[in-house]
Structures are given as structure tokens and as C-alpha cells.
Chain A
Amino acid sequence: MPSDAAPAVESPSRSGTGSGATPMVKFEKVRKTYGDLVVLDDLDFEVAENEKIAIIGPSGSGKTTILRVLMTLVKPDSGKIYVDGRPLWHRENNGQILPANERHLRDVREDIGMVFQHFNLFPNMSVLRNVTEAPVHVKGLSRKEANERGRELLDMVGLGDKLESFPAQLSGGQKQRVAIARALAMEPKVMLFDEVTSALDPELVGEVLNILRKLARDTQMSMLIVTHEMNFARDVADRVVFFDSGQVAEEGPPSEIFTEPKEERTREFLRAVLDY
């Protein structure tokens, strides 16, 4: 039985449990603390292929940390994370579990993309260059291929006429659409959206959310969306996760969570954000 003989690192994810399909993302007892503050409290959590998940919850509940740990921006204290069956923060060598090195991280990061709250565009590069820089230098695409693909993506987000502009010349909503195109250009299997509309003026939120809706509808990527936009979460998500004090407090399809939440905490939170 090769799967029995395989080291513990590989088996749980590859062989899967229950449904039999390999989850795209799997958290196993992931813990992260900052001093006394527990941000992720032995979190167990799975995301299926092509699943769109909205993560909601009070601020400071650790929602963003889930994404940052997954993007390898923050190292968890303990626990294991698998992305498409591959361990993220550790690697395996002759059956031994070792912490991930830079090479391993770069390897697994290929599957993950992220869009940030504050865009983090490269201010010194044109819009097109922002989108093509990594495809050319990380994925090894030719400049021509990358430009073509970049144009398509920028067209898709409605910025086909801004290729030569620089980030400082764009509105917040336009910047965020460039950032989305930039992340898409790497063709990740999992895309992380970290409060992507929180830094925008209210009238610019719609243009960004519409693109996310389109992506959710038309692509096969798994999407993890941390958001405060409840209506949007209801529209777009297959599953809504209510996150509180470092744990998944409640989860389920939007129809359930938003209409008949079981947990008192969830009810309280929804009451606070929906009736102001």
C-alpha cells in the first residue's frame, strides 16, 4: 500500500478524506499568535477546487491572517497547510519533515495569487508593465506573449486604454483593477482577495466588485474573499465562513448564513453590519 507507506506529510491531502477529491487548500491545526493575541486558533479549514468562499467576521478576528499565511507572507507558529496536495510551509526530504526553504516556497507559490487592500502596485512601472513584469521574469514568458496576455487582461478589467499610464495617474478603483489583472496574469489556482474594496471611495467600489463577480462566474479558480460587503458575499460565494477569535465560528451556503444563522455570535455580527 503505497499510500500507507507514504510519509504523513503527503497522505492526508493526496488521499483525501470523505468526498475523495483533493481539496485545493487545507489547513490542519494552524496556529498563529502575536504575543498573547491568538489570531489563528488551531484552525482546520478546507477549500475545494473551483470553490468561491467569502470570509466575513469582525475586524481583528484573523480573517486577513488566513490569507497572509497562505500567501507565505506570515509564517504560522504550528500546524500544516496544503495547497493542491503539496505542503506549503514545510517540505519533505527522505521522509523527514523540514521547514520550507526559499526554493520550496517559490515552487508552491506558483499556485497562489493575491490582491491587496492597498493595491501595492509598483509605482515605477506602467500599467502594462505592472501586469507583465512577473509573467516575463518569473514564468519566463516572452515579452510579446506577456504583452498580449496583459492587454487581454486589462481589456477584461476595462482598462484597455490605460496601458501606458502610471499608477499615480489612476483612481483607486482603476488601481485595484490593475492589481487584479496583475494577479490573474500569473494564472494561479487559488486567488486571495484581501478587503479589496476597503481602501476605495464608495463610488468606486462597484467597478471592482463587478470584476470579482465576473471572475467568480467565469473562472475555475478557487477564490478566498475577505470582505465587508455582505450583499456581494451573498451573491458571489458558494460558501460563507464566519470567522471569529481565530476560529471558524459558523459556515454554510449564503442562503443559510444570511437568513438563519445558528450561532448567536453570527447573528450579532450580522445585525451590527446590516442595520446601521
Chain B
Amino acid sequence: MENILNLLPPLLEGTWVTIQLALASTVLGGILSFAAGIGKLSSNPLIRWLSVIYIEIFRGTSLLVQMFWLFFALPLLGVTLSPAMAGILALSLNIGAYGAEVVRGAIQAVEPGQYEAAIALNMGKTYTLWRIILPQALVEMMPPMGNLVVQNLKDTALVSLITIADLTFRAQNLRNLTLDSVPIYTLTLIIYFVLALIMITGMRWLERFIAHRVGVAQGRSRA
């Protein structure tokens, strides 16, 4: 018991770093998701192709490869990122590529009749996207986005491999010092699990909130 009390403070310090990384990359990744997801459906071929290339590259390779590339390879091109920058950027770019597919899928899942009604009411394209289509798509995309947020939290553990002192990094350090593997890793796993449960709960709440705000909470029969 005393042993665990000694382990907790450093692990909790690392947990705070993990939380910050997870939040920052979730927000940045969310923005990228919408940009690339909408971009992939753009009528402008340049924007469309840029989005497709971004999505394919970051979905087609390992997150760890992306992180190492930003951390080790980019400096040789003259761009040196701090470990935190490289970590957040890699996490955001990675989760943003997966999120883009979620956004695109949800937009395309909106019934064609909705676009037709918007045309019949003479609404502009931008207006139709933002005010008619996206609010409906948002409800659709929340559950898969929730999975991505948890995935992203788990992915933050990889930043320990580029020397960021997150929860996993602290656990590794403690083990090297004390060789007390069982309590250290058990505790670490439990902390990650609790964080994940909090995020899952948060995303469920957000999902309900959005469904309610958008107004389809009343039941979702064909309109």
C-alpha cells in the first residue's frame, strides 16, 4: 500500500501531461476532420485532391512512423519541432485523417431529398452545407467520433517514445528505477482506463446534447 502511495505522485504528474496532449490533439484533430472531410467533397479538384492525399497518407501509415518522421526526419529538412509539437502534430494529423472519413460519411448519409429541398428553396451551396446538412450530419457522426477520441487518448502513449514525460513515460522511468513492474503497470493501465471512461461518458453527454440541440431527439422517423 505504501508502495502504491509512493508511485502515485509521479504517475499523476504524467497523467496531467497525457490529459493535455489528448485534449489539444482532439481539438486540432477535430478541426482537421472537418476541413479534410468537407474538402474531400469539394467541387474544387485541387482541394479535393489535397484532402484525399492527406487522408490516404495518414490513414495508410502507422502513427508511430508519422511521429518519428516529424521528430527525427523533419529536422533534416530544416524544420525542428519540439517533442511536444511533434507529438501533438502527429496525433492530430493522424486522428484528423480518420475523423475526415467520419465527417465525409456522415455528410453523404444525409438524404438526397434534403439537398433537393434546399435547392427548391433557393438556398446557396455554402448555406445548405452549414445550416441544413451539417447539423443533421453532426448527430450521425458523434458515435464514431466518440470512438476516435478514445483511440486518440490511447495513442497519446506513443509520445513517450519521443521523450515526452506523459503517463507511459513516467511508468517506464519508475520501472527502470524500482523494477517494480506489476504495481506500476497495473496502476498505469487503471489510470488510462479511468480516463477513457471519463471521455466516453463525456462524449455520450455531448452526443445527447447535440442531438437535443439539433432537434431530432424527439424521434428519428423519416421527415
Contacts and interface: CB of A to CB of B under 8 A. Distances in A.
Q: Do chains A and B touch in the complex (CB under 8 A)?
A: yes
Interface of A: 71-73, 102, 106, 109-110, 112-114, 116, 118-126, 133-134, 137-138, 166-169, 175, 182-183, 186
B120 interface: yes
B20 to A, nearest CB: 34
Residue picked from B114, B119, B223, most chain A C-beta under 10 Å = B223
Given A138-B124, A183-B120, 11 more contacts: A72-B119, A114-B116, A120-B111, A122-B136, A123-B136, A123-B223, A133-B121, A166-B215, A166-B216, A168-B218, A168-B223
Nearest to A73: B116
B204 interface: no
Contacts of B111: 120
8 contacts: A116-B116, A119-B223, A123-B216, A133-B121, A134-B122, A137-B123, A138-B124, A168-B216
A168 B219 contact: yes
B215 A125 contact: yes
Interface in B195-223: 214-216, 218-223
Given A116-B113, A137-B131, A123 B120 contact: no
A110 B122 CA distance: 7
A216 B114 CA distance: 26
A109 B121 CA distance: 8
Given A109-B119, A167-B223, A168-B220, A124 B215 contact: yes
Nearest to A139: B122
Nearest to B138: A124
Residue picked from B111, B113, B214, most chain A C-beta under 10 Å = B113
Contacts of B123: 134, 137-138
B135 interface: yes
A120 B220 CA distance: 13
B127 interface: yes
A175 B223 CA distance: 7
Contacts of B215: 123-126, 166
B132 interface: yes
Given A137-B127, A169-B219, A124 B214 contact: yes
Contacts of A166: 215-216, 218
B46 interface: no
Contacts of B222: 118
